[in-house]
Amino acid sequence: MVTLEIFQEMSIRESISRCNLIIKKLRNKPATFSEINDYLSLESELQGYNFVISKRTFQRDLQDIRSIYNIDIQYDYSQKVYFIEMEQQPVVSERILEAFDIFNALNISDRLSEFINFENRKPLGTENILGILHSIKKRFQIKFTYHKYCDEETSERVVEPLALKEFKNRWYVIANDLKDYTIKSFALDRLTALEITNKKFIENNSFNVNEHFKHCFGIIGPNENKPQEIVLSFHPIQGKYIKSLPLHYSQQIILDSENELRIKLKLVITFDFFMELLSFGEYLKVIKPSSLINDIKTSLINSLKQY
């Protein structure tokens, strides 16, 4: 006998699976309600559920998808098809769909450990993202304990949060540090004891996170330095990776041959960017500027002294 509790659990699971299938269908291409229902009917046979729905239930599913996943499905009256709206915030929308893929995969928990190998790392501090976003939006100062890698001891910080930024799978809060009234980046994984105060601050209308990091690679800001033209030459094999995942939005291909990939960039040379170049080792040669060439040479000579 199926109890009410089991029935409710099955209903919720069926509803979530159906929403996932609707997203999956519309990610491939726009579709009519009839085409979506045909797809749900096929999946019903394959999975042993009853995914076929009425137009009214479908509209309710669209609301749930918008609420749960923040994915907006709209209707094109001229073509009479449903589609996923991604034009407003294309980067955010792509990341939402990436997160959906991961969530969907992790939802298959019965054979999870056999097929998924997780990176062994410490938590990224993402539990504080919602609180920090709230503080940014409402302009509340925040307090936290912070541990810099270069310092043995932790420090107490009071800051005015301005934005969140991601770099190399880590999240940072960009904030005005009230210690010296300087805009700094604080890694969420090194931030503890977050407290949202009731003290408000005046919005900094002159700060825009996208403009601030426009000519930067990584999390270090320009610090009033001007962007430079940088020319890099990569081994052709490494060049394929550089083409598929550009170092910076300003990247332009100058030469693409069987012997090398040569690109041009315009950005501020920060420590983050310098360390990224060193990571390519013998597969990279800096062509310009001369100051960067000399710094790379000095670093490689100092590295050899370690052996």
Q: Where do the domains of the chain lie? A: 4-113, 126-205, 228-304
The pLDDT value recorded for residue 172 is 93
CATH 2.30.30 fits 126-205, yes or no: yes
Give the distance, in angstroms, between the CA of residue 187 and the centroid of all CA atoms in the same chain.
Answer: 14
The pLDDT value recorded for residue 4 is 44
> Residues for the chain: how many in total?
307
The pLDDT value recorded for residue 97 is 65
Instruction: Indicate the CATH number of 228-304 among 3.90.550, 1.10.3470, 3.30.70, 3.30.9.
Output: 3.30.70
Q: Which amino acid is at 138?
A: K
The pLDDT value recorded for residue 83 is 92
The more confidently predicted of residues 112 and 55 is 55
pLDDT in tens, 223-251: 889 999 999 999 999 999 999 999 999 99
How far apart are alpha carbons 119 and 22 in whole angstroms? Answer: 30
How far apart are alpha carbons 119 and 102 in whole angstroms? Answer: 14
Mean predicted confidence (pLDDT) in 163-167: 90
The pLDDT value recorded for residue 247 is 93
Mean predicted confidence (pLDDT) in 213-229: 91
Could you tell me the two tokens for 99? 């997160």
Q: Phi and psi for 245 in degrees, rounded to 5?
A: -135, 85
The pLDDT value recorded for residue 51 is 85
Instruction: Indicate the CATH number of 4-113 among 1.10.443, 3.40.50, 1.10.10, 1.10.150.
Output: 1.10.10
CB 209 within 8 A of CB 162: yes
Q: Phi and psi for 264 in degrees, rounded to 5?
A: -125, 140
CA atoms within 13 A on the CB side of 217: 22
How far apart are alpha carbons 70 and 164 in whole angstroms? Answer: 19
